[in-house]
Amino acid sequence: MKKILPLFIATCIVSTVNAQQPGASIDVQHYGFSIALTDTSDLIKGKAAIDVLCIKDTKTISLDLISKNNSRKGMTVLQVAENGKTLTYTHINNLLNIQFETPVTAGEHKNIEITYEGVPDNGLIITKNKYGHRVFFADNWPNRARHWLPCVDHPADKAALDFTVTAPDHYQVISNGIKTSDTVISNQLRRTHYTETTPLSTKIMVIGVANFAIQESGTVNNIPVSSWVYPEEKDKGFYDYALAVDILPYFINNVGPYAFKKLANVESTTMFGGMENASAIFYSDEASITGERKSESLLAHEIAHQWFGDMATEADWSHLWLSEGFATYMTILYFEHKYGYDTARHMLTKNRQQVVDFARKKTRPVVDSSVTNYMELLNANSYQKGGWVLHMLRRQLGDAIFWKGIQTYYNHYAGKNAVTGDLCKVMEEVSGKNLKAFFTQWLFTTGHPRLEVTWKYNTVKKAVDITVIQQQDVLFQFPLEIQVESSLLKNTYITNRETRFSIPFAKKPATVVLDPQVNLLFEGHIAP
């Protein structure tokens, strides 16, 4: 039985908030984190100076901070104050609730100072690297910053920040933003201060503390690009990471200005292959360095995130494809630019198979609000299918309109948050087309076309007769390309369960190829 696609409701909802969580009572304007680290224990001592804008009348504000657990890991709050005056608070079940003596009115700023300490169970990873040396690396995605930072741990709440790290002086420190001071103080300690004025989500606020070899790889539009690697593989690492100097201009030229004042590419112990921390990208030390530049796609992906994910940010985790799908397809576009369309076609084909394989195990839409374990969103829907949606959108709109739409979307939402409907609205305005059905079908509907396509040569009509049958439950609508030998390309719009059409051809062809240019997300084959 034919199932009707759901009404385009979710995608029509557009973001109304610039840089705070919808419905929140506060919007953090600035974090000032001071973190003290030692080699004698994993205990960290922290102070957080937080500038909060109240957007609702309230007497209590809440921040995320993991409480101490049975294994004695987690944070203990020692004091909360405002302008030196102690405030009442509770720290229970991973929430720090701060009470004011008198109600705070909407529009009022509060400057909160929190003193705390503890051994982080996650978020800030204190371990030994593959060479056996002690290292400290933040790994906050998706909402693990709360393990070591009192914060609003949601991608929609963005704030400027300062990190001041005090650590033994044999370490170097990397963080978001620009290093404003780096001083050796008493007792063989070094104090390093970084300032980032561009508001960021907590998921990309980081510090990295290790023994690094550091190289300035070059500059792009006066933006310094550097490599931070373990000394044991500095030659290979400097060579591999220097590719960033070639990659960065592509996104600047095609998307928009780079928003940050530096780009550091950092070898780290991140649990991910790469993590797009703003202006300080962390790459896994397991595979990112080979000395043979085999991680070019990884670097391109993480650098693309500096625009999509870091600046134009998904308003909620369910819209993660606006980050990961964009970075996936932008990587393909960079490779197409550098190596040609055959390379891009190979990448698209591989990604399509990953989407198909994932759908056989789990049938979920790309925009999936049912997921509460956000790590589960790191799947082929968010990455490869999201990228494929952009590819099909590009083919539907044409390159010029597609890129205009991408640039317009980024220009509007840089420094802000977006949901899928925001992208749809921009693309509709730029193209003059109604794209609601397209976005509903590919992003809010589970699955993809599963096609059985057959052909036979009709000697009387001198034509190739084609039959296309959609085998999935929900019918899709899409353009389908079929190539007869190498001389004729037929594009037919498919809407029904079964579609029949003919392609005039003088003789029985040797080959009939389905989707020869790799422009459709589907599974299936064509057979005589």
Higher model confidence: residue 7 or residue 67? 67
pLDDT in tens, 498-507: 999 999 999 9
- Residue 112 is predicted with a pLDDT of 97
Is pTM, for the whole model, over 0.85? yes
- Residue 4 is predicted with a pLDDT of 32
Residue type, 156: A
**Three-state helix/strand/coil letters over 159-226:** EEEEEEEEEECCCEEEECCEEEEEEEECCCEEEEEEEEEEEECHHHCCEEEECCEEEEEEEECCEEEE
Backbone angles phi, psi at 69, to 5 degrees: -105, -175
- Residue 23 is predicted with a pLDDT of 75
Q: Provide the pLDDT confidence category of residue 9 given band limits of 50, 70 and 90.
A: very low
Q: Is the pLDDT reported for residue 70 higher than 90? A: no
Label the pairing between strands 223-229 and 512-514: unpaired
Judge whether 26-211 and 450-527 match in fold. Answer: yes
pLDDT in tens, 349-390: 999 999 999 999 999 999 999 999 999 999 999 999 999 999
Q: Provide the pLDDT confidence category of residue 21 given band limits of 50, 70 and 90.
A: low
Closest CA to 65 of 11, 121, 6, 106: 121
The domain ranges of the chain are 10-14+315-444, 26-211, 227-311, 450-527
Backbone angles phi, psi at 313, to 5 degrees: -110, 140
Q: Is the pLDDT reported for residue 262 higher than 80? A: yes
CA atoms of 502 and 18, how far apart (whole Å)? 52
% pLDDT > 90, the chain: 93
- Residue 22 is predicted with a pLDDT of 64
Which helix (H) or strand (E) segment holds residue 427: the answer is: helix 420-431
Residue 68: other Cβ atoms inside 10 A: 15
Tell me which CATH homologous superfamily contains domain 450-527: Aminopeptidase N, middle-beta domain (2.60.40.1840)
Handedness of CA 518, 522, 527, 528 (dihedral sign): negative
Q: Is the pLDDT reported for residue 8 higher than 50? A: no
Instruction: Kindly state the tokens that stand for 411.
Output: 């220009």
CATH class of 26-211: mainly beta
Q: What is the mean pLDDT of the chain?
A: 95
Q: Is the pLDDT reported for residue 286 higher than 80? A: yes
Mean pLDDT within 8-27:
58
Mean pLDDT within 249-258:
98
**Three-state helix/strand/coil letters over 54-70:** ECCCEEEEEEECCECCC
Mean pLDDT within 191-211:
98
Residue 41: other Cβ atoms inside 10 A: 9
The domain 10-14+315-444 having CATH identifier 1.10.390.10: the answer here is yes
Q: Provide the pLDDT confidence category of residue 428 given band limits of 50, 70 and 90.
A: very high
CA atoms of 215 and 208, how far apart (whole Å)? 16
CATH code: domain 227-311 is 3.30.2010.30
Mean pLDDT within 416-439:
98
